[in-house]
Every structure is written in structure tokens, then in C-alpha cells.
Structure 1
Amino acid sequence: MSISRRNLLLAAAAAPLFSHAQPNTWPTRPVHLMVGFPGGSTPDIAARVLAEPLARALGQPVVVDNKPGASGNIAADFVAKATDDHTLGIVINGNLTSSKLLYPSLPYDPERDFTPLSLLVTAPLVLVALPNAPSGAAFFDAARAAGDKWNYGSVGVGSVGHLGMELLKTRVRGLAPVHVPFQGNPQVVTAMLGGQVQMALVPPGVAMPQVRAGKLKAIGLTSGRSPLVPEVAPLANAGVRDFDLEVWAALLGPAGLSKAAQERIGHELGPIMKSAEVRQKLFEQGWQAVGTSPDGMRARVKKEAAIMASIINAKGIKLE
């Protein structure tokens, strides 16, 4: 074989390897993480824990921008309309699973206007009651007997705590507490401590300090056993069947996010979510780090959106 022909063959064989080894040119400037809630909220905590290690991995600053309002929909819409390839968002369940049904004039489409990147953190909800309430299945016997004389609190119409309780009503025959919305979980807890509401579904970080102080009682978790609250049993142990609900936050970009950005984020985010430092920081805030593929996130959203749609449509819940 001639030298020139051999060189051509070697070059052809090396080309795919050389192409694959080319550095990813994204990002070329600071990356902005849009958060639709104020500082200290679940998505804000996740964003700020991730910002530093993600910035180190990407070689560019990662800036957390809070745009609170409309249950996170203002920031979500900002991400949906972003065209600069350097704007991402951290959203909660409702932005992707229930907002489209709750807000008839929602300015974005959760299915078409985003590029799913990864689920980030999850946590079960804790069903809490007054400290003198019975435990386990006996609690639901008492709740059924009380009918609509009992109230339950949530952080507002369409929230996970609201829709979750309405879902629980469909799983526990005869359960009929009346919904009382509040501005936030601290107000829900205050109302419970004052005896204005008898039950609520709240995150572990809100519930467990009150439970451990003996001021509230944990009836059960809305998921299976969780390392976040190992001392609390699932509601399934109290006879509740076909009920699995968590709160979560996820990372996404606009629908037109470049392949270069998607690939780089996918490459860097996995190790970050598995790191002991990040997992411990999130755990201390009441959240379990998960990390998923884009397809895993899509599957989660699709499954939960169907469940939320069944409740919203059956109850005729709307926010506008």
C-alpha cells in the first residue's frame, strides 16, 4: 500500500475520534438559573446549592435570578421565551403537571415550550394532625366521622398540598375535610397549632420540627419509606392504597436549547448530584438529591400530570 493511501486511511479512521474529542464550546458566558419563588423556597435552595459546583464544572458563573409570582409561572414563562441559550430554570411540580389546567390563560405550554434536563430533588409530604389525634387507620376513622366539620390547610388553591389532599379524599372513602388556603406553610402550621385546621400535607422540613416537639402528630408519608423522615411510616400502613405523591424541583431550558448545552449539562450534572457534599447540603434542607435523565424527567411529569388532571377535572378547580 502506498504511503499516501495509508495516510488517507489513518486520517479517515482517526476523524470520528478527533471529532468526538472536540471540546464543548457551551457555555460562552454566565448561565442564569431562573427561580419563580423567593429566597429560602424549595427551588431557590436547590438552585443555590447547585450554582457553585455547576459553575466550577462549566467554567462560567452560574447566577441565580429570583422572579417570584404566579406560583412560579412568571419565571417559567421567562425561560420558555428565552433565546440566548444561557437561560435555564428550576421549577416545581405544578409548573409542569397542573398549571396548564389551573390557569386557562397560561402563557406557556408545559409540554412544548421546554427542554427537560433533570429532576433535582424530591421529598414526600407528611400528613400531620393535632397531637391528640389517633394514629394510623384510627385517624381516618375519626376524620370520616367528623365529615366536613374538620378543615385542612394548604399554601393555596392548586398547590401540591391542596391537590394532594383532594386526591387523598378519593382514596379514603368518606373523607371530607374543608379546604382552607393560607399564604405559606408557616401560616398553615400556626393555624393547626391554634386548632383552626385539623390536618394538612406539608414538607418534612416544615412538619418534623413540630412533630418532634410534640406539637403536631405525623400520621404518615405520601410515599414509601424515606431517609428524610425514617421514623414516619407510609400512609399505606394506615390502609391508604394507590397513593404516591412527592414534591420536587427540576431543571429545564427553553424548547430551543442547543444540543451542545444539553450534552454539557447532562455530562456535568450527574456527578454533581451524586457528590456527597451536594447530597448532604440538600438533605439538611429536607430534600433528597435524585438526578435523572431527560427521559426520566419526562416520564415522571407525564405520570403525575395525568393524576393531577384527574383531580382538577373532577373537582372543577380553576384559578382564573
Structure 2
Amino acid sequence: MATMNFFRPFTRRSVLAAGTALVAAASTHLAFAADWPSKPVRIVVGFPGGSSPDLTARTFADPLSKLLGQPVIVENKVGAGGNIGAAEVGRAKDDHTIGLMINGNMTIAKILNPAAPYDPLKDLAPLSLIGVSPLVLTAPVEQPGVPRNADAKTFFAAARAAGDKWSYGTPGIGTIGHLGTELLKARSGIAPIHIPYSGYPQVATAMLGGQLQMALLPPALALSQAQAGKLRLIGVTSSGRSALAPGVPSLVEAGIKDFDLQIWNAFAAPRSMPEALRTKLAGMLVEIARTPEVREKLFQQGWQMVATSPEGLANRVQKDTQELSRLIKEQKISNQ
């Protein structure tokens, strides 16, 4: 019986035609990228003005505007630990919207809540991982049951004795401040109750007002409050000491074994944005981040500059999604 050949052999003409089509398509994409942007570009931030993500977005807005030749506007879409802003980015179809995200917005949002209005792995396209940082465990200077000059071990002993009479604050369920404190509870035997706020500045304000007994804060915010004599610094969440918090011991030094936690911020675009535009934007963001002026501003904000390629950010998202998913499962964390 004769066999049927479903594969038409390539001819020189067909190969040339295919090549011509690819070149034409590439030229069209390049021309499209060259004509872009045609209107102001939005950077959506899911946290309030004055928060760490907001400051980073505004640091990039002016230099990005100069490179693009169009205004760059920062818009704050606050709530749900940054996920309202992330969802806004994910559904944008105008090719002129990007977002400044934190870890949870690009990794485990859908895992924590299957009803979340976006899927970070499907709706967001990585542009660049901008900066990384540990958090700093902080507490009020004046605190019942805790001596004013208490070291970390004394602080944890007081926290264990207080049990669920203490509370801790975070920028929302599923943020690294939340997941990190839940991990700290499991590792240290403390049991404070979680109270979510709209951002880290609001957490610090609540702690100063006596509504909270502890919180993991970004280094810049923690150090400024400590220098003002308002908060005490217990320890950093990195495995060793950090240049972002000089002189502050690590929680590992306080006896919390194998504790290593980082926050990060990154730019992302809607998955619907053409790849040529994403590539163009990513290159500009990396160029801006590596300038001495912006690098210094990021450090002052509490970030060690990284400025990766889209592929570098994608790898970090994949790694953290796996690790944070395991933590969520182990600690039975949910925001439903």
C-alpha cells in the first residue's frame, strides 16, 4: 500500500518566501517600536504615595520620560498588598502602561487567592528586577514588658511570653512582610496577630501609635525611625548583616536558624504588550538603574541595585514562586 506524504518538501522558492516574510514582520515590529510611545506612559504602583515602591517608581519616571520623549506618570492604585495595581497592569491594553511590583505581586498572588483578578504568571511580562533588600524587624522603643535596651534574644523572650496579645503589621496578606513574619513565628515560637495595612509607612505609624508591637520594615524606613529615637531595630532578615542596615545584627545571630528572606521590586508590563516594546522598555530601565545618580537614590531608599534583563527577572519569579508556595503550604496561609 502506498504511504501518504503529509509533508510537502521545501523548495528554494518557499524558503526564500518564508525568509522574506520574517524580515518584513521584523521590520514592521521595529518600525512600531520606533514610533512608540505616542502618548504619556503610566507607571502603576499598588501602594500609597511615600511607600518604597512609590519612591522607586518616581525615581525612574523623570529619566524614563527623557528617554521616551513623552511624560511618564506615576499612578497609585492602592490595596490588597499591591495586587489591585498589579491587576490594573495585567489588564491594560493600551501599550502605554507598566507597573512597579513587589515579590508577591509577581509570584504567589493567585496561589494565595484563586479568585485574584489576575494571574501574575499569565498576565504580567517581566521587564527588570531593579533592587533587592532584607527587611528589618522593628519594635517601639517604649514597650511594656521589654527593657529599653533589650537585645534580640530578650525581645523574643518577651514576645513568646506575650503570645497572641501582641500584634504585627504588614502592607497586606501575601506580602513578604506577612509571609516572613509567619515564618519567623514558626521558627521562633512567638504568636503575634497579623493586622494588614495599605503600606509600610502606615505600619510604622501604627507601631509608633502603640497599635502594633512589631513589624518587618524596609531598611530605609526602619533606620530613619530608629535614628529619630522612635523605633528599635531587632535584626535583619538576611542570613548575614547587610550594608543597607549598618550595625544591625541578623536574626540568625539572635538564634533564628536558617532564616534568609529578601524583598525585591521590579518593573513588569502587560503580557499583551508587544515583545519589541517590552525589549525597548527593559533596556531603558536597566540603563537608568545603572547610572550613578539612580543607583545612589535606590541605595538611600533601601535597595541594592540589580537591574536584570527580562530573562533574569523571569528566573527570579520562577524561583521565588516555588519557595513561597512551599512556605504558604507549610504555614497554611490564605487570604480567602
For normalisation by structure 2, the TM-score amounts to: 0.78
Look up the match of 2:7: none
Q: Relative to structure 1, is the Cα distance of residues 72 and 145 closer, same or farther in structure 2, using a 3 angstrom cutoff?
A: closer
Q: Percent identity?
A: 51
Looking at structure 2, the residues matched to 57 and 171 of structure 1 have their Cα atoms a distance apart, in angstroms, of 47
Cα distance per residue 1:241-296 (max 9 Å; x no partner): 32222222211111132232132223322221111111222333333332112222
Structure 2 residue 246 is matched with structure 1 residue 246: no
Q: Relative to structure 1, is the Cα distance of residues 81 and 150 closer, same or farther in structure 2, using a 3 angstrom cutoff?
A: closer
Q: Relative to structure 1, is the Cα distance of residues 273 and 70 closer, same or farther in structure 2, using a 3 angstrom cutoff?
A: same
Question: Among 112, 124, 142, which residue is 2:134 paired with?
Answer: 124
Check whether the contact 2:103–2:175 (CA below 8 A) recurs between aligned residues.
no
Deviation at 1:228, TM superposition (A): 2.2
Look up the match of 2:237: 222
Look up the match of 1:51: 61
Deviation at 1:126, TM superposition (A): 0.6
Question: Among 28, 41, 49, which residue is 2:37 paired with?
Answer: 28
Cα distance per residue 1:205-246 (max 9 Å; x no partner): 332233223333211101143332112122222222322222
Range with greater deviation from structure 2 (214-223 or 192-201): 192-201
Looking at structure 1, the residues matched to 246 and 35 of structure 2 have their Cα atoms a distance apart, in angstroms, of 41
Q: Relative to structure 1, is the Cα distance of residues 254 and 168 closer, same or farther in structure 2, using a 3 angstrom cutoff?
A: same
Look up the match of 2:316: 300
Q: Relative to structure 1, is the Cα distance of residues 148 and 68 closer, same or farther in structure 2, using a 3 angstrom cutoff?
A: closer
Secondary structure of the structure 2 residue equivalent to 1:111: helix
Look up the match of 1:268: 284
Q: Relative to structure 1, is the Cα distance of residues 270 and 140 closer, same or farther in structure 2, using a 3 angstrom cutoff?
A: same
Secondary structure of the structure 1 residue equivalent to 2:121: coil
Check whether the contact 1:125–1:203 (CA below 8 A) recurs between aligned residues.
yes
Q: Relative to structure 1, is the Cα distance of residues 216 and 66 closer, same or farther in structure 2, using a 3 angstrom cutoff?
A: closer
Looking at structure 1, the residues matched to 55 and 304 of structure 2 have their Cα atoms a distance apart, in angstroms, of 12
Q: 5+ unaligned residues in a row in structure 2: which ranges?
A: 1-22, 142-147
Looking at structure 2, the residues matched to 144 and 38 of structure 1 have their Cα atoms a distance apart, in angstroms, of 33
Structure 2 residue 253 is matched with structure 1 residue 237: yes
Deviation at 1:199, TM superposition (A): 2.2
Deviation at 1:69, TM superposition (A): 3.2
Look up the match of 1:115: 125
Taking only aligned residues, the RMSD between alpha carbons, in angstroms, comes to 2.7
Looking at structure 2, the residues matched to 302 and 106 of structure 1 have their Cα atoms a distance apart, in angstroms, of 19
Deviation at 1:57, TM superposition (A): 2.1
Deviation at 1:190, TM superposition (A): 4.6
Range with greater deviation from structure 2 (155-164 or 273-282): 155-164
Looking at structure 2, the residues matched to 177 and 261 of structure 1 have their Cα atoms a distance apart, in angstroms, of 46
Looking at structure 2, the residues matched to 182 and 133 of structure 1 have their Cα atoms a distance apart, in angstroms, of 28
Secondary structure of the structure 2 residue equivalent to 1:201: strand
Paired letter, 1:93:
N
Paired letter, 1:201:
L
Look up the match of 2:89: 79
Range with greater deviation from structure 2 (88-97 or 236-245): 236-245
Check whether the contact 2:138–2:216 (CA below 8 A) recurs between aligned residues.
yes
